[in-house]
Structure 1
Amino acid sequence: MDTAPGTQASNSPLTEATATAKDDTTVPTTTPTTSNPSPLITSLSWGKISIFPTHGLTLNTTKDIKLYPGGARPWDWNETGTRHKPGIQLADVEELLAHGATVVVLSKGMQERLEVAEGVVERLEGRGVKVYVAETKEAVRLYNELVEGGNKVGGLVHSTC
Structure 2
Amino acid sequence: MSSPEIASLSWGHMKVKGCSSTYKDCKVWPGGSRAWDWRETGTDHYPGVQPADLDEVLKKGIDLLVIGRGMSEALQVPSSTLDFVKQKGVDVKVLQTEKAVAEYNKLAGQGAKVGGVFHSTC
Q: Does the TM-score normalized on the shorter chain lie above 0.5?
A: yes
Question: What is the Cα-based RMSD across aligned positions, in Å?
Answer: 1.2
Aligned to 2:21: 59
Which has more helix, going by share of residues?
Answer: 2
Write out the 4+ residue segments of structure 1 that deviate beyond 4 Å after TM superposition: none
What is the Cα deviation at residue 58 of structure 1?
4.4
Task: Indicate the SS of the match to 1:99.
Answer: coil
Partner of 1:72: 33
Give the whole-Å Cα distance in 1 for the aligned partners of 2:12 and 2:20. 12
The amino acid of 2:4's aligned partner reads: P
Verify the 8 A CA contact 1:47 1:60 in the aligned structure 2: no
Deviation at 1:60, TM superposition (A): 1.9
Tell me which of the two structures has the higher relative contact order, counting C-alpha pairs closer than 8 angstroms and 6 or more residues apart.
2
Q: Are the counterparts in 2 of residues 41 and 140 from structure 1 also a CA contact under 8 Å?
A: yes
Is 1:44 aligned with 2:15?
Answer: no
**Which residue of 1 is the match for residue 72 of structure 2?**
111
Identity %: 46
Structure with larger Rg: 1
Give matches, 1:1-161, under 5 Å: 36-52=1-17, 54=18, 57-61=19-23, 63-161=24-122
Structure 2 unaligned blocks of 5 or more? none
Counterpart residue type for residue 6 of structure 2:
I
Structure 1: distance between partners of 2:21 and 2:14: 6
Distance 1:58 1:85 in 2: 31
**Who is 1:11 aligned against?**
none
CA contact under 8 A between 1:67 and 1:73: conserved in structure 2? yes
After superposition, give the CA deviation of every residue in 1:61-86 in whole Å (9 maximum; x if it has no partner).
Answer: 2x200101110000000111111001
CA-CA distance at 1:125 after TM superposition: 1.5
Q: TM-score, normalised by structure 2?
A: 0.94
Is contact 2:3-2:111 (8 Å) kept? no
The count of aligned residue pairs is 122
How much does 1:150 deviate?
1.3
After TM superposition, give the deviation of residue 43 of structure 1 in Å: 1.0
